[in-house]
Structure 1
Amino acid sequence: MNSMGQPTRRGIGGFADGIKYFFQGLGWVARHPRQWLFGLIPALIALALYIVALVLLGTYAGDLAAWVTPFADGWSSGARDALRFLLGIVIFGLGLVLAVITFTAVTLLIGEPFYEKLSEHVEEDMGGVRKAADIPVWRSIIRSVRDSLITLGYVLLFTIPLFILGFVPVIGQTVVPVLGAAVSGFFLTVELTTLAMERRGLARKQRFAILRGDRSPALGFGVLVFLIFLIPFGAVFAMPAAVAGATIMVRTRLAPHHPTQDQTAL
């Protein structure tokens, strides 16, 4: 059931609906190229920060591997170097996974004014929406950081075990990538729908409950975005479309007429 009490498609049908919402967002930014260019700015800033961070991680991955394996100092040089080389690869690989997962949250945090305006333009283009009470900018930033950290905690709770299981033969090359895409996709949807849901006065727990209650489109939308974000520069160019698509999904399916509430509390 959706927020109006009407039946919604689940399973494959709901998953396909989620994919559809991304392409609707892509169509919207294609019709509003200025908004697309406007939305590229924070994504480019975030990309530059992540490139610097990953270069530093790649440079010092070996040193980090040596730091966490002091017990190997007395080993033969061959065994010690092999262990630390493999651990360095694991550290860098985990850094890449975290970069993909956290890119959306960091980009939204950097570009909240940009994406808030983009999301509002989508709403206005589709007839407008009655907004919840405005809150001070500093309070909004604190809440956004807090909610992003909580979401990251949930992501790590699933991602780290899956990353380790990725080294298990057969399962690591079949089941784990599918589960990883589903987990990452769902939490990408959590982040991307935040703007539109907060506009309706929905707190973090309410947003999670809505997405869990209509999980199929959340997965369809998020998994597609996750796969696009894996393409080099895909996250930068697709971010405005993802924000627009998430707004359309919230407006038309997840919380189309949800009553607004007071947002003054953290």
Structure 2
Amino acid sequence: MAEGHAKAGGDALIPAATILLLRDGTEGLEVFMVVRHHQIDFASGALVFPGGKVDKLDMAPGVRERADGMEGLDDWEFSMRVAAIREAFEESGVLLARNEQTGSVVDAGRLKALEPYRDPLNRGEVGIADFLAKEGLRLAGDMLTPFAHWITPNMMPKRFDTRFYLACAPEDHLAVHDGSESVDSVWIRPELALREADAGTRTIIFPTRMNVEKVGRSPNVSHAIETARNTNVVTVEPVVTKNEKGEPVLKIPAEAGYIVTEEPLSAVANVSKPKAG
């Protein structure tokens, strides 16, 4: 794992990245989400987007030479995008990469042949640079569109600095959970995910819920990506304060463009678990 930036007070931030994989379904925009294993120490059992921590191997020599659309990025932002692509492959089996000979995004047949790399990459037994070189691939960083940036509140014992990206999932890539970090997966319309969370049949933590709602404003993939390209990403680092009633709330900046600017701290701390059945 790469070393995190440090905020005032010396709190280490763990760099992480995630992708909202999108597709156009019969009833509109759909996003791919996975259910995190109940033994994972962060957001266990929650419905989340594929993603995870930046690994030190994401910046290994040779990675930059095999990345499209990421020229000019500093090491921090570059490693975020590499991690986003790698984690999406490890957790969902979707690989945003091109054949270096043809320039085409890997198709379903090639993807199936690359499947055995998912676990070794996840365990750190194979680095992303070696994987790309051995298989003659280039990361399709140009398929990523920055969407959001959240930093875990400073009252939390483990803090993440997370970039969220949008990407149109290749049509013939079969997205499926890895069975270890995630135990279930679903292509779901954002409004349905929110409705199920409100009904208590899904667990969705606050940052995920905000981004599900935000992407759900778009009727289709092209609209979502075009909107993100034309919208400045405002960093969200929630702070604990009190509302006008004197109740503790988690507050986020209005300029970030989310549907709410504050959430009762009790709602954030006590996310309801899915109901039995």
| Length-normalised TM-score, structure 2 | 0.26
Relative to its length, the structure with more helix (as a share) is: 1
Structure with larger Rg: 1
Relative to its length, the structure with more strand (as a share) is: 2
